[in-house]
A and B are shown apart, each in its own frame.
Chain A
């Protein structure tokens, strides 16, 4: 019954080697988000899609890109991972932007070696 699914749960990549994280949802929600969370910190919003409209946070590095080919899927591409990009990456959805609560996937923990 998982509604927001992230793959893989754990990802190890080498410094500078591109990596893609995936997220799918069965909720048919309009909005999909990507958050980065480091230990003992709040989740930090990287970007979100409202339907097909992409919204990038001002402080999200260019190294992070995203694609949403359809309602159900969203991808996070890290073009050249650095050691500082090691974190938990959380995908979330909401029915609408604003007053709707977020539904999180179980996250992908990225290690950069």
Chain B
């Protein structure tokens, strides 16, 4: 089992739709969680950190479910500009240090 798993997609949804992605992680001791957005041939950019209580930033809502070991990202009223790959990132204890682990990303395509 991969340490961090995401549905690769692609998700193809119409503009204005609501879309949600999940990301599961295997290490129950994982400590911090992030969603990054990556446009084609560009670097990943931090979209939002994911807090235990859940957090919202405009049209974006992130949730953490520690019991089931997954995080989610909800995008409401999707825009054409939301088309990108969304990377789930988990920081997990590993031996005596911590390790940042990327999911392989979920591709989202918004159509007019």
Contact = CB atoms under 8 A, between A and B. Distances in A.
Interface string A92-113: 0000011101111111010000
Given A42-B87, A88-B41, A101-B34, 14 more contacts: A40-B104, A42-B103, A43-B44, A43-B102, A55-B97, A90-B44, A98-B31, A99-B91, A102-B36, A103-B46, A104-B45, A106-B42, A106-B43, A107-B42
Decide if the interface of chain B is mainly helix, strand, loop or mixed: strand
Interface in B35-61: 36, 41-46, 49
Interface bin, chain B: 20 to 34
Query: Chain A interface residue count: which class?
Result: 20 to 34
Decide if the interface of chain A is mainly helix, strand, loop or mixed: loop
B62 to A, nearest CB: 13
B46 A102 contact: yes
Contact of A98 (B32, B41, B103): B32
B83 to A, nearest CB: 15
A28 B78 CA distance: 36
A62 to B, nearest CB: 21
- The 4 A-B residue pairs whose C-beta atoms are closest, nearest first, are A42-B102, A104-B43, A99-B32, A42-B104
B46 A99 contact: no
Nearest to A39: B41
Of the listed residues A101, A103, A109, the one surrounded by the most CB atoms of chain B closer than 10 A to its CB is A101
A52 to B, nearest CB: 16
